[in-house]
């Protein structure tokens, strides 16, 4: 069972659930053999706080021969999201230690158990905005660009 399939099989674990509204997109991306999502988040304001803005993001790795293709897809996504008072950016992230490493955890997924899980280059595309419609648009653009 792949690490992503293990994540999907976790039950009663709100922390590890894929955010509402993006699960099908994340599942679709992970069907591509060249890509692997690492982390994702769709901003939703807390019901008991002011909506002062937040971040939505996707962290995704690719096989070396698909690196340029992935970067081009992310560029299309970034240009697709044109919202007032928002900042979209793409960052290329270098391999690093697994700061979540916990060999005693009962949850057997790579981002907790595998010391080499983040020892890959990956991209992080994100948007900062107080406009919830902008976060929806961000995820719509991701879904659209990974279907083509």
pLDDT means per 10 residues, the chain with 148 residues, are: 65 67 91 91 78 86 94 95 86 90 83 85 94 92 88
Tell me, letter by letter, the H, E, C secondary structure of 7-38.
HHHCCCCHHHCCCCCCHHHHHHHHHCCCEEEE
| Per-domain boundaries in the chain | 3-147
Q: Given this model, what pLDDT does residue 72 score?
A: 96
Q: Given this model, what pLDDT does residue 124 score?
A: 97
DSSP helix/strand/coil, 2: coil
Each residue of 27-57: pLDDT tens digit?
899 999 999 998 899 998 777 666 667 899 9
Half-sphere exposure of 97 (CA within 13 A, CB side): 4
């Amino acid at each position: 069972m792949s690490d992503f399939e293990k994540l999907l099989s976790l039950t009663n674990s709100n922390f590890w659930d894929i955010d509402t509204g993006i699960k099908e997109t994340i599942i679709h991306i992970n069907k591509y053999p060249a890509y692997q999502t690492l982390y994702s988040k769709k901003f939703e304001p807390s019901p008991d706080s002011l909506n002062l803005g937040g971040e939505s993001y996707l962290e995704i790795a690719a096989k070396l021969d698909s690196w340029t293709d992935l970067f081009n897809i992310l560029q299309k996504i970034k240009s697709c999201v044109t919202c007032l008072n928002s900042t979209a950016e793409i960052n290329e992230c270098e391999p690093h230690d697994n700061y979540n490493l916990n060999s005693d955890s009962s949850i057997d997924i790579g981002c907790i158990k595998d010391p080499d899980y983040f020892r890959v280059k990956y991209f992080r595309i994100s948007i900062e905005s107080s406009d919830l419609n902008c976060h929806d648009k961000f995820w719509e653009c991701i879904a659209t660009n990974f279907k083509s």
